[in-house]
Structure 1
Amino acid sequence: MPVRLRNALFAAIFASSLPVHAALDLQAPVPIGSQVKVGKLANGLTYYIQRNGKPAHRVELRLVVKAGSVLEDDDQQGLAHMVEHLAFNGSTHFKKQELVSYLQSIGVKFGADLNAFTSFDETVYMLPVPTDSKENIDTAFTVLEDWAHGVTLKDEDIDKERPIVLEEARVHKNAQERAFKALLPQQFNGSRYARRLPIGQEETIRHARPEALRRFYRDWYRPNLMALVVVGDIDPAEAESLIKAHFSSLTNPAQERPRTYAAIAARTTDDAFVFADNDIPANSLNLYYPVRSEADPGTYGSFRTKTVDKLFSVLLNMRLVQRTQQENPPFIGAWGGEMQLMGRNKQFLLGAQLGAGGAKPALAALQEEQQRIRQSGFTTAELERSRKVVLKTYEQAYNQRGTTDSAQYATEYLQHFLIGGTIPGIEAEYRLVQDILPTIGVADVNAAAAKAFPADAAKLIAFVGETRSAPAPTVPQLLAEAASAATGKATFANRDEQVLGSRLMDRPAKPGVIVAETRDQRLGLTRLTLSNGVKVILKPSNFRKDQVLLGAQRYGGRTLFDASDVLGAKFAGAAVRSMGIKNYRPFDLQKILAGRNADVFAGINRYTDDIAGGSGSDPDDLETMFQMVSLRFAGARRDETMYKNFIDNVTEATRAAAATPEGRFEDAITDALYAGHAYEERTPTSREIARISLDRTLAMDGQRFASAKGLTFVIVGDFEIDAIKPLVGAYLGTLPVTDVATDYRDVGLRPSRGVVRKTLAAGKDPKSVVALTFSGPADWSPAEALRMDALKEVLNLRVNSVLREKLGLIYGGQFNASLQRIPYQHYEIATRLTTGPDNIEQLTTALFAEIDKLRADGSSQAELDKVKANWRQGYRQWQQENTYWLQNLQASLLDGTDPARLLTILDEVDKLTVADVRRTAQRFLDKENYVEVVLTPEAAPHTSATGQP
């Protein structure tokens, strides 16, 4: 729908809003939509069933249990999570590892597809299953039934899983986790939630009696605390029949333990919290306002209240963004909004990522914006923009209703089971929002602000950050600054509203023309050549309604510049974006584009110049995207204030990140691979960033993006060819095509040869990471890349089955692999595996033992069959995604390959053999040529956390 027509409709709705609103009974419940069947068995188990065809031949299954770590007894801390682990390791119908192996054999990948999680109040099991055969579906419901009441929890399985759970805990050990654990008792004000983290206590995990796990499972895994969610390509009647057959016999305990929810006490005075740790990657300041326990009754009134809150959130965040674009901004970024905490608890959070000025200016600015809202409220113009933004969100969801992924619907229903709310379906919800939005006035959003941060509310002010650049604020300082702002007499009026146009530009008076056009019926492509020489490939699709993707690449990139310019070229695209478009600062653009869905980014990659964009299918969205492309080639907007803010932000972010153990480790890997080559890309220093010149940055960006010569634009998505052609001609056909280099430059960047081993001591936690990289020259071909991918997937099966399940040395990890054609034909296979410092040698020995086996014997046939099954499932889904087609069409243009291979690649997959995997392992897993870098912890910690006494 064009913007002018949509605005007319909006005005018409607004004109008739009073009668509509008067007829709406705010106390009445919003009916559950006809798209989903919601039922309840006699034993109390709830179920949700929806037929959905995206993706085809697949159903998303969820088992939701209203039981998590907050229900653990003292001797069970961490066992709710451990029970979830053990659900995959032995049950009534599946012995240990049989379940995972079976699901892998039908194309379900462990971790990526098959997964689960445990939180404070719930445990959720996720099982996506191909629906090609009735056996798959029947077995899947047997799996769900076993999880619900058939997990065996044998002593030997429990003992085998303990080290894996401890390794999962190890993966998350870092400064952020230390800060989170220190903050939680303050944020939750002494609630039980602060004493029942899902990961639990390590001593309990190591030594808990098996009976303690069985007691948790027996007490809380019961049908009246469970829901089944079934969404996908399945007959609802069949799904309901399977639910009843598998779950009607489940019973609740004769003497049920009461399922209660932990309370979070109200704060009576302002508190402050400071956590200083030099491993923290960024400094932040958060203001936590009173926790509210509010049930969502699912009425029209509660729906309207949530809509008001969405408008308020949009308005507030627009104002905070505006503060980042002033001269010497008080923070790098800021945000505000209501968080859904555990149970029915909600909390308003106002936060900021701090810049070089630290906490003081950020705290003052956050409180100033609150005071401005309390004193002057929001304006009508602001509210109108926020209405457009919120309405656009619902409009997109409505337009995409037939192509929305089943997993998204499944998440919506599990949330409905856990916290309530409304599920009327997007058709009814969109109509309801159209009726409600015009009835919401400035007074409503001002009231929402008053509810979110009352002037007299006791709040928690929390600083988390490092002290390398400046001392951390103290608790008394934070409290004094907050009190001073709260009692100040300053008056804060709303800022003047600048009148802006509704379009970025006029359509060119003399558009380009299409001089050649061909059709590829097999791939569904239309290829155009425009009068300026720019080429375009169009692929209309119905894969994802209201989505259009655009991309263009050509050889070039930042290695065309001298080494001293590479950093500026790397940041050029982001720097240009930070300054806006044409005569518009970024915040001006936000105003102009409110209610539209369009964006474009252009950047200089290492060996390519890249353009990426996207929009909705609305003609005005589409035209806005093309206008942004056109304006990007018309030259960058020069704004010294915005550029300085950008550079300050980059400096702060990289300075902090480079000092973290993770940042230092990545730089150590880069140095080990490339031995300090002038063009290697490691974290820049503040001094290097300071040398980046605005004028030089603009010159390099202009050198690459003042001309569209050599570009082929690929456009994929929900559009009609005849409707998009005028836009293509008007905007892409008028792009400048002056002479520009369209080839890459080989600067001699090559990985180290031979065996290179390095160790880095960084970080305080008992955690080590082993990074292993095999790389070198290789003959490039699509067939060889496929064989390498097969080797990578087999390696990942071994990582899980041997390093995790058999030896308990890791929680998770995987290899990545690539075969590249430029700037020379080469490959890389790499992994990063987290383990205990005492297990490094055992881990590397076991990993190389598996590499030796692959080199000697290849994979087993069963392993290769699992890889093929997963690829078949994935390929069927990927072929129905715009992103897949865009990426592969662009790759075929750069590599000079036939894109028709996308239609026959499964034939190549079917021909892969065990011998192929063996030969590929022998070629690429060269034990005489690899780089190994190991991260080990430093000796002594130096962390401090303080709170208000």
Structure 2
Amino acid sequence: MYFNLKKRYLPIYLASLFLTQNLYSQQNLKQKQPSAILPLDPAVRKGRMANGFTYFIRRNTTPEKRVVFYIVNKVGSVLENEDQRGLAHFLEHMNFNGTTHYPKNELISYLEKSGVTFGADLNAYTNFDETVYQLPLPSDDPELLKNGLQIMRDWAHGALLEPVEIDKERGVILEEKRMRSGFDQRLMEKSLPMYLNNSIYSRRVPIGSEEVLTTFKPAQIKSFYKKWYRPDLQALIVVGDIDAIQMEKSVRLIFSDLKNPVHEPSRPKISIPLTGKKQFLKYTDAEAPDTRIVISYKYRSPELRTAADYRAKMVTSLIDQLLAFRFNELNQRADLPYSQANITSGNYLDDLDVFNFNVTLKPNQAASGFKNAYTELERIRRYGFTAAELDRVKKAYLAGLKALVLEKNKNNSSNYVEEYVNYFLRQDAAPGIDTEYRLVTEFLPGISLTEVNSKIASFLSLPDQDIIVTGPKTTREELPDEATLGNWRNAVVKSNLSLYAENKISEGLMTEETLPGKTTGESAVADINTTIYKLSNGVRLVFKQTDFKNDGVLFYSYKSGGTSLASDQNYYSAVNATALVKAGGVAGLTATQLGKFLTGKKLSVSPYMNELYEGFSGSFGAEDIETALQLIRQYHIKPRKDTVIFKNIIANAQIAVANRHNDPEAVFSDTINAVLGNHSIRRMAPDAHTLSHIDLDKALAFYKERFHNVNGETFVFVGNFKWENLLKYCETYLGSLPSDTGSTSNFKDLHIVIPSGKATHIIVHGKEQKSEVKMIFSGDYDYSLVNNLQLQALGAILEFRLLERLRESEGGVYTPDAGATFAKYPSARYSIAINFTCAPQNADKLIKAALEEIENLKTNGILPLDLEKFKAETLRKNEVRVKTDGYWVSYLVRQLSNKEDLSEANQIKSAVSSLDRETLQKAAKKYMSGENLQQFILNPESL
């Protein structure tokens, strides 16, 4: 449960606006009626009852035997009165704290017993304009399915709103508010009145007013509930492996008795006024991570209901990609006076969109940095883009859509939900992926360069502009005021600018001939449908063919070694080696040229190196297998050195570490890592000194040392592929890689383990009145399937207990977190961690309460209900996971690298089922004895 102030509401952090899927019908396409409203996808059963209640029901079998329910309310914080600020969000919480059929916390308990996890699965959010509840369920249990529908009915209008439960929840919501406090929240509070033009939205942030939250009377929230939680403002969305006709009958039966209040008020449509003016804000903060200038160009959101609307959205989406490509390339130039610049489009609120120019500045270069970045914006406004740029983004656009069409019958049920939410809330069209594809193929060729350039010029000439300048307090004198920034912009506008020069790209990755290797061995693991091959150069291939996707393969490779083989003196160069290679390019291509070459291809290849292993991860489609394998080969033997990129990376990193000490959470995290790592150089956060010792030549030398010899490297491929094709390309491009078959590689045990004994570490930093707590139990470990499940169970059950004690009983935290981790190599170790945020004055009390719950587990054992919940959640989640390629890649890599039995996957169900309370009580005594306990507490400076 949370309030959802999405990124769109704070322009500094806006992400690109993705296309709404499924937007045209064959009939309208043939009739060429661009002004006609696009009909809803016929695969969806939509209805509206006499009481105004709306529903959307769709049968979809990915994942099998699962269904997702959503209740969408056109009710958010903007509807609150002044004395109700925060009650829309409070109501969302109360729907989990007692409803007609599930009083108090029985709802959460019932669902957890059914395998639904509170927070991860069972959740809700409240925004300015809507409140949305979600419930994913197994659909193969008729009783559970029936009860799930009843839960949705209770959420629609069955909250009990008992005074005792209301008072208990006040503390939880105040802690949620506290958890979110910090620089980002302070910046939002300062800037929202400007961004939202002092409209009511700026005074209705969903989390609400602390005064209201602590003092409101039950009658106030009941009044809000009765007034706005009503059927004519609600919709039910059901997507999953269900009988849609029968579900519709059940929905109409159970929701038809909902009644609207007598003399109900109409739901007002509230808009943010456009002023036609520029607005300016300069804000400095001791905890600001960097210095940046943002210019937001605001305009009224266009409708997305007709073919003409969709075509206009296509143009905007192409512009998004054009801007991303252009600025990504420009950010790679030498001697940049700024750190990063970009421009994205997004959405403030329901009816207000934005183009957002964002530049992060280097110290003492505010004027030159801003002017340099803004020059490119002015160049785009003046001259637009090139034909080559537009052709490239069209190619990428169409390729992305083709991939969606190809997987249309394997689309996850949850992916449909947002379409129907937007259809209900904003009337955004959603008639189906096939018709969208037909629409795109009809319209895309006709979108001209002239049209695109005219559109971006109009965006960048919009009169409504919000300008915000932020930075650490120490930079206040350097940052421009409104007049100064205006002069900088005018200077750029009056300057002479040349046309943008498009860089040429290579025609291919391979220039050399290869001598393919040969398969020298083959073995099968029949019970998990996996085959293992050995190539003549010592490379091992692991193939698992699936039909979870119609097209696509995930892969991962590993070879023992990693940065453990680097000296301490060379560590920072070594640990950054793969990042520098990825940024520098491969086989003579810069990273930008490589990106252009790969445009429209369905593949991703990325080298990695951690402490124990090095290798590759990525994916590819059937048409791009050869290119993917070529790229893997070239990354092995032809990494590219780029001194310009290297200097930019180091310069930007220096800026980041210079202000890292301003961030209390960063200081807390860095302290924890240092202490748990015994202050090894490999566990310390980098600073200006360590960054200055990163050497590009040493990094590349270490990379080549680790990747040039492939003997012992294992590649795991999982997905839908043609066996003979993949094997042929692996023999050609992996089997021909250089290898010293007489040498072996293994990682080095550096003996960096969590310190033994007990210790408490107090860190004092930050201005917000909040404390963060982390508690870690650790020790040596006997790695096995049974022990691993016991640890996982303990972590999950401990979280159940802490949620009940620290949140529900004490009201002292919002989301306590607990979990276990374990590893077999380099030495078998485990840890169990507890994390929570709270009021500083409550930290000691809550730590004591957490330790009491642990002691209770050891003394009195595990509650039967908690064990039942863990088993249900684990088994239900495993049913879905085993039908994903990602699961099998991770599983096979883990089992192979740990030298464990590949058939263990077939033992998980029986191993989980056999867990018992007595064994877990013994495990609690063993793993949480308290002999090795490290505690960390972050307190504010004013405590």
TM over 0.5: yes
1:505 deviates by 2.0
Instruction: Please give the alpha-carbon distance, in whole angstroms, between the structure 2 residues aligned to 1:914 and 1:482.
Output: 70
CA contact (8 A) 2:799 2:819 kept: no
Q: 94-103 or 857-866, which moves further after superposition?
A: 857-866
Q: CA distance change for structure 1 residues 419 and 265 in 2, over 3 Å: closer, same or farther?
A: same
Once the two structures are superposed, the pairs formed by residues 630-645 of structure 1 within 5 Å of their partners are 630-645=633-648
Instruction: Please give the alpha-carbon distance, in whole angstroms, between the structure 1 residues aligned to 2:432 and 2:484.
Output: 46
Once the two structures are superposed, the pairs formed by residues 163-182 of structure 1 within 5 Å of their partners are 163-182=171-190
Q: CA distance change for structure 1 residues 685 and 468 in 2, over 3 Å: closer, same or farther?
A: farther
Instruction: Please give the alpha-carbon distance, in whole angstroms, between the structure 2 residues aligned to 1:135 and 1:464.
Output: 55
Instruction: Please give the alpha-carbon distance, in whole angstroms, between the structure 2 residues aligned to 1:469 and 1:483.
Output: 20
Give the structure 2 partner of residue 893 of structure 1. 896
CA contact (8 A) 2:680 2:752 kept: yes
CA contact (8 A) 1:655 1:686 kept: yes
Secondary structure of 1:931 counterpart: strand
Secondary structure of 1:31 counterpart: coil
Task: Pick the aligned partner of 2:666 from 663, 668, 692.
Answer: 663
Once the two structures are superposed, the pairs formed by residues 156-305 of structure 1 within 5 Å of their partners are 156-296=164-304, 298-305=305-312
Q: 922-931 or 255-264, which moves further after superposition?
A: 255-264
1:547-569 CA distance string (max 9 Å, x none)? 31111112211121111222221
Task: Pick the aligned partner of 2:515 from 510, 533, 538.
Answer: 510
Give the structure 1 partner of residue 622 of structure 2. 618
1:391 deviates by 0.8
Task: Pick the aligned partner of 1:544 from 534, 545, 549.
Answer: 549
1:202-232 CA distance string (max 9 Å, x none)? 1110111111111111111111111111001
Unmatched segments (≥5 aa) in structure 1? 1-19, 941-949
Q: CA distance change for structure 1 residues 509 and 632 in 2, over 3 Å: closer, same or farther?
A: closer
What code does the residue aligned with 1:160 have?
Answer: K
Q: 367-376 or 380-389, which moves further after superposition?
A: 367-376
Task: Pick the aligned partner of 2:42 from 25, 34, 40.
Answer: 34
Q: CA distance change for structure 1 residues 544 and 469 in 2, over 3 Å: closer, same or farther?
A: farther
CA contact (8 A) 1:344 1:419 kept: no
1:509 deviates by 4.2
1:52-100 CA distance string (max 9 Å, x none)? 1111111000000011011100000011000000000111111100000
CA contact (8 A) 1:516 1:529 kept: yes
Q: CA distance change for structure 1 residues 511 and 675 in 2, over 3 Å: closer, same or farther?
A: closer
Q: Is 1:415 aligned with 2:422?
A: yes
1:910 deviates by 0.5
Instruction: Please give the alpha-carbon distance, in whole angstroms, between the structure 2 residues aligned to 1:242 and 1:695.
Output: 68
Instruction: Please give the alpha-carbon distance, in whole angstroms, between the structure 1 residues aligned to 2:222 and 2:743.
Output: 70
Once the two structures are superposed, the pairs formed by residues 720-735 of structure 1 within 5 Å of their partners are 720-735=722-737
What code does the residue aligned with 1:385 have?
Answer: R
CA contact (8 A) 2:546 2:719 kept: yes
CA contact (8 A) 1:330 1:357 kept: no
What code does the residue aligned with 2:775 have?
Answer: L
Instruction: Please give the alpha-carbon distance, in whole angstroms, between the structure 2 residues aligned to 1:492 and 1:723.
Output: 48
Give the structure 2 partner of residue 8 of structure 1. none
Instruction: Please give the alpha-carbon distance, in whole angstroms, between the structure 2 residues aligned to 1:745 and 1:116.
Output: 46
1:270 deviates by 2.3
Q: CA distance change for structure 1 residues 740 and 438 in 2, over 3 Å: closer, same or farther?
A: farther
Q: Is 1:922 aligned with 2:922?
A: no
Give the structure 2 partner of residue 6 of structure 1. none
CA contact (8 A) 1:164 1:804 kept: yes
1:546 deviates by 2.9
Give the structure 1 partner of residue 102 of structure 2. 94
Give RMSD over aligned pairs: 1.9
TM-score (norm 2): 0.94
What code does the residue aligned with 1:763 have?
Answer: G
Q: Is 1:308 aligned with 2:308?
A: no
Instruction: Please give the alpha-carbon distance, in whole angstroms, between the structure 2 residues aligned to 1:316 and 1:707.
Output: 40
CA contact (8 A) 1:69 1:81 kept: yes
TM-score (norm 1): 0.94
Task: Pick the aligned partner of 1:567 from 566, 572, 576.
Answer: 572
What code does the residue aligned with 2:102 have?
Answer: F
Q: CA distance change for structure 1 residues 483 and 693 in 2, over 3 Å: closer, same or farther?
A: closer
Give the structure 2 partner of residue 337 of structure 1. 344
Once the two structures are superposed, the pairs formed by residues 836-875 of structure 1 within 5 Å of their partners are 836-875=839-878
What code does the residue aligned with 2:519 have?
Answer: I
1:606 deviates by 1.2
CA contact (8 A) 1:336 1:351 kept: yes
What code does the residue aligned with 1:604 have?
Answer: M
1:746 deviates by 1.5
1:330 deviates by 4.3
Q: Is 1:908 aligned with 2:917?
A: no
Instruction: Please give the alpha-carbon distance, in whole angstroms, between the structure 1 residues aligned to 2:58 and 2:338.
Output: 45
CA contact (8 A) 1:170 1:767 kept: yes
Q: 724-733 or 788-797, which moves further after superposition?
A: 724-733
Percent identity, please: 32
Give the structure 1 partner of residue 357 of structure 2. 350
Give the structure 1 partner of residue 754 of structure 2. 751
Instruction: Please give the alpha-carbon distance, in whole angstroms, between the structure 2 residues aligned to 1:721 and 1:900.
Output: 22
Q: CA distance change for structure 1 residues 594 and 674 in 2, over 3 Å: closer, same or farther?
A: closer
CA contact (8 A) 2:86 2:213 kept: yes
Instruction: Please give the alpha-carbon distance, in whole angstroms, between the structure 2 residues aligned to 1:81 and 1:384.
Output: 46
Give the structure 2 partner of residue 460 of structure 1. 466
CA contact (8 A) 2:92 2:125 kept: yes
CA contact (8 A) 1:29 1:299 kept: yes
1:249 deviates by 1.2
1:475 deviates by 2.4
Q: 61-70 or 660-669, which moves further after superposition?
A: 660-669
Instruction: Please give the alpha-carbon distance, in whole angstroms, between the structure 2 residues aligned to 1:491 and 1:607.
Output: 51
What code does the residue aligned with 2:486 have?
Answer: A
CA contact (8 A) 2:806 2:813 kept: yes
1:259-299 CA distance string (max 9 Å, x none)? 12332222333222122112123333221112314333x11
Task: Pick the aligned partner of 1:701 from 690, 700, 703.
Answer: 703
Give the structure 2 partner of residue 10 of structure 1. none
Instruction: Please give the alpha-carbon distance, in whole angstroms, between the structure 2 residues aligned to 1:590 and 1:330.
Output: 24
Q: 867-876 or 215-224, which moves further after superposition?
A: 215-224
What code does the residue aligned with 1:348 have?
Answer: F
Give the structure 1 partner of residue 17 of structure 2. none
Secondary structure of 1:659 counterpart: coil
1:623 deviates by 2.0
Instruction: Please give the alpha-carbon distance, in whole angstroms, between the structure 1 residues aligned to 2:319 and 2:743.
Output: 48
Task: Pick the aligned partner of 2:113 from 105, 108, 112.
Answer: 105
What code does the residue aligned with 1:479 have?
Answer: L
1:905-928 CA distance string (max 9 Å, x none)? 110000000112111111111222
Task: Pick the aligned partner of 2:808 from 805, 808, 817.
Answer: 805
Give the structure 1 partner of residue 130 of structure 2. 122
Secondary structure of 1:352 counterpart: strand
Instruction: Please give the alpha-carbon distance, in whole angstroms, between the structure 1 residues aligned to 2:517 and 2:43.
Output: 46
Secondary structure of 1:383 counterpart: helix
Q: Is 1:492 aligned with 2:494?
A: no
Q: CA distance change for structure 1 residues 476 and 741 in 2, over 3 Å: closer, same or farther?
A: farther
Instruction: Please give the alpha-carbon distance, in whole angstroms, between the structure 2 residues aligned to 1:185 and 1:469.
Output: 24
What code does the residue aligned with 1:41 have?
Answer: M
Give the structure 2 partner of residue 12 of structure 1. none
Instruction: Please give the alpha-carbon distance, in whole angstroms, between the structure 2 residues aligned to 1:91 and 1:458.
Output: 46
Q: CA distance change for structure 1 residues 784 and 477 in 2, over 3 Å: closer, same or farther?
A: farther
Secondary structure of 1:252 counterpart: coil
1:445 deviates by 1.1
Instruction: Please give the alpha-carbon distance, in whole angstroms, between the structure 1 residues aligned to 2:405 and 2:726.
Output: 22
1:733 deviates by 1.0
Secondary structure of 1:164 counterpart: helix
1:131-151 CA distance string (max 9 Å, x none)? 121111111111111111110
Task: Pick the aligned partner of 2:776 from 767, 773, 776.
Answer: 773
Secondary structure of 1:709 counterpart: coil
Instruction: Please give the alpha-carbon distance, in whole angstroms, between the structure 1 residues aligned to 2:269 and 2:507.
Output: 50
What code does the residue aligned with 1:398 have?
Answer: V
Instruction: Please give the alpha-carbon distance, in whole angstroms, between the structure 1 residues aligned to 2:413 and 2:194.
Output: 38
CA contact (8 A) 1:762 1:936 kept: yes
Task: Pick the aligned partner of 2:81 from 73, 88, 105.
Answer: 73
Instruction: Please give the alpha-carbon distance, in whole angstroms, between the structure 1 residues aligned to 2:786 and 2:366.
Output: 55
What code does the residue aligned with 1:625 have?
Answer: A
